[in-house]
Amino acid sequence: MSVYYHENTQTFHLTNGQISYLMKILPNKTLGQLYFGQAIRDRESFDYLLEMKYRPMTSYVYEGDNLFSLEHCKQEYPVYGTTDFRRPAAELLQSDGSRITNFTYRSHSISPGKPSLPGLPATYCESGDEAETLTICLEDTLLKVSLYLHYTLFADLPAIARSSRFENNSRQTLHLTTAMSLALDLPDCAYELLHFSGAWARERHMKVRRLEQGIQSVESTRGHSSHNHNPFIMLRRPGADENCGEVLGFSLIYSGNFLAQAEVDAWDTTRILLGINPFGFDWKLSGGDTFQTPEAVIVYSDKGMGAMSRTFHRLYRTRLARGIWRDKPRPILINNWEATYFNFTEEKLLSIAKTAKEDGVELFVLDDGWFGARSNDSAGLGDWNANPQRLPGGIARLADRVEDLGMQFGLWFEPEMVNKDSDLYRSHPDWILQTPRRSVSHGRNQFVLDFSRTEVVEHVYTKMANLLSQAKISYIKWDMNRSITEAYSVALPSDQQGELFHRYILGVYALYDRLHTEFPNVLFESCASGGGRFDPGMLYYAPQGWVSDNSDAVERLKIQYATSFCYPISAFGSHVSAVPNHQLNRSTPLSTRANVAYFGTFGYELDLNQLSPEERDEIRKQIDFMKKYRQLIQFGDFYRLLSPYSSNFAAWMTVSPDKHTALVGWYKILNEVNGPYRRVKLQGLAPDIDYVIDGTVCQGGDELMRVGLLTTDSAAGERQKGEPAAVDFDSRIFVLQAKNKREPA
């Protein structure tokens, strides 16, 4: 791993043997982009990559020179209006109304390890030899503003983390209206853009489009990363697939409004921008003030989308998630929400918990409805005191009683919201986000607390910390069930209202970080009406998140398959729920519900007391299976095999680091009549190892990867007597265990 600087040619080269990232100081002292991709050998000069031609209708930097124009140069952190007409990475509104800036090279430094970003989630290192960080200081000498570009190259991953910091060293007050975390100019546009979009209950569905001249983007203006789009995009070369081809992944470690944009100009140069959404953003930068952007991560793969995903999985699972739960298998839980909704008593909850304990569940989670006057979703939110009618002994007694059963206890909160019918709102009606003299919109009968205000965050912290101190709470489900409207804070002056969205999410991070630090043994799970804030920013505080409110096994195939392109399996909150499913009214086999939910943190969202003895027996076997293999599932290497987006089948697998054990999940959505013989080619195995499949058949790793695993069932031909019936929504888990090593052929 090395970060080189060649002073004679003013060239930077970041390389770790897997990737190379090349930059150069341009003739006007701004910073140019030369190359990002597969590793190349270092050399003194790569100046041949800086191509310049005369083009009519082009503006040029220097009078008398008709070659050097920023319009036709690839740049590292571009600005608008000094011969570049593409969308910029930064924009500063000045007191005279100008938005023109010119950031030129001043200095740079190279240091081992990786600095933290105060107040923001970010990847980290545990030792200095894990990464090396290049910081380049640019300066607008007229404005006296410094711009620090941070690049962290990881030693053993084809990944670079980037962020930017602005520092106003003048007495002039400026307004930062655009501050992207990452800009990358690529020399061509021969890519397909993949993004992950949807809505509530159908989050992160994979979308593919070809890059064309013009702008294509996904974004959020909802105050959170949103169900609708995710702060993650990919570029892949046509023909690239899971196992081969060039792929670039771009991920933003942020939970608020974001923009991910690809702009292709008339000469087919592609500019990627990723960062805080400039829409509605305006950060007042007084003299002496600084502004730090969130961190973005770029991953390069020349071995297809699967290798890119496994890089993100490893980085985010081990160097973004933190705390004691980072590396620990997650407890199998049962959540009472779909079992009871608001209709419960302490004894009813204990009845569910007792039965769950008998079946092997380890954690009981009490969801919404335990506090204040909360008999429905129109009252009580914000009053974090136990309802004495439902819980006469409070949370502490219920937690003790659950612990006495031999289980851990978990609790639901929605700390960012309030009902108007609550003691909190009656005491502090000015604490919600609201625009003066205008009506206030609601969502789920609730309103958004102004988390840009420290006194609001402090109040919520006190309530949550008191409960966590007084009761034996091992797990927190942190929910957020509406987007921000009327984005205005009565506590901010008029010239800082454009800071509201970012200040809000900084308040959320501050509360998370304080609780995470003071209660290190608590397992936090993030949630936002399911997957409305399932993003890398949340993983820094909560190592797992509720993937979607939609727990239907068939729908989850698409959701979990697409989510795996960026996020590790250990982050997937995934449960077995009742049928007919509460979101789709579809009934799927209990086995399939578990076979999908295994590939995540695993739990149940139903009342086990309502099941038959045969179903209870099956659940016990499911729990035993998950306990045996959860270390492998949650921390193994994950491979996508068959896409539910392109066929009636889906398949994926996870492989242990030593390649001795693997699990294959195979899923059929609708049954067939007289169908073909079927097989699926596996990945990630050792070709020289023989594997015993489900304790019977033995095949070599080379055979399983090149010939395939047979998945033919009774739908091929006519079912014979004694043969298991193939059905709609069928599935199977194959267990592969190494038997021995073979001599190479």
Is 549 tagged catalytic?
yes
Q: Which residues contact 658 (CB under 8 A, 6 or more apart)?
A: none
What is the C-alpha to C-alpha distance for residues 463 and 385, in angstroms, rounded to an integer? 8
What is the C-alpha to C-alpha distance for residues 608 and 334, in angstroms, rounded to an integer? 9
What is the C-alpha to C-alpha distance for residues 684 and 688, in angstroms, rounded to an integer? 12
Helix (H) or strand (E) holding 494: none
Check: CB of residue 305 under 8 Å from CB of residue 242: yes
Q: Which residues contact 71 (CB under 8 A, 6 or more apart)?
A: 58, 59, 83, 84, 85, 86, 265
Tokens standing for 363? 């954690």
SS (H, E, C) 395-417: HHHHHHHHHHCCCEEEEEECCCE
The packing angle between helices 394-404 and 346-359, to 10°, is 30
Task: Say which of 479, 535, 607, 713 is annotated catalytic.
Answer: 479
Is 265 tagged catalytic?
no
What is the C-alpha to C-alpha distance for residues 597 and 626, in angstroms, rounded to an integer? 10
**Torsion angle of C-alpha atoms 321, 324, 330, 332, degrees rounded to 10:** -140
Tokens standing for 44? 């003194």
Question: Which residue in the block uniquely carries the two structure tokens 């899923």?
Answer: 667
What is the C-alpha to C-alpha distance for residues 604 and 361, in angstroms, rounded to an integer? 9
What is the C-alpha to C-alpha distance for residues 148 and 140, in angstroms, rounded to an integer? 11
Check: CB of residue 592 under 8 Å from CB of residue 564: no
Tokens standing for 483? 């987007």
Helix (H) or strand (E) holding 351: helix 346-359
Pick left, alpha or beta for residue 477 (phi over 0 → left; psi -120 to 50 → alpha; otherwise beta).
beta
Residue (of 514, 550, 544) closest to 526 by Cα position: 544
User: Terminal CA-to-CA distance of the chain, rounded, Å?
Assistant: 36
Tokens standing for 391? 């819980």
Helix (H) or strand (E) holding 467: helix 454-470
What is the C-alpha to C-alpha distance for residues 76 and 89, in angstroms, rounded to an integer? 9
Tokens standing for 348? 């009813």
Helices (H), 360-453: 394-404, 423-427
Residue 518's CB is within 10 A of a number of other CB atoms, namely 12
Rg (CA), the chain: 27
Task: Say which of 359, 368, 535, 549 is annotated catalytic.
Answer: 549
SS (H, E, C) 170-224: CCCCEEEEEEEEEEEEECCCCCEEEEEECCCCCCCEEEEEECCCEEEEEECCCCC
Question: Which residue in the block uniquely carries the two structure tokens 């596996």?
Answer: 682
What is the C-alpha to C-alpha distance for residues 482 and 499, in angstroms, rounded to an integer? 20
What is the C-alpha to C-alpha distance for residues 541 and 410, in angstroms, rounded to an integer? 17
Tokens standing for 160? 């670079």
Residue (of 419, 433, 403, 420) closest to 368 by Cα position: 419
What is the C-alpha to C-alpha distance for residues 499 and 451, in angstroms, rounded to an integer? 12
Question: Which residue in the block uniquely carries the two structure tokens 């400039």?
Answer: 278
What is the C-alpha to C-alpha distance for residues 218 and 569, in angstroms, rounded to an integer? 24
* Catalytic residue positions, numbered: 479, 549
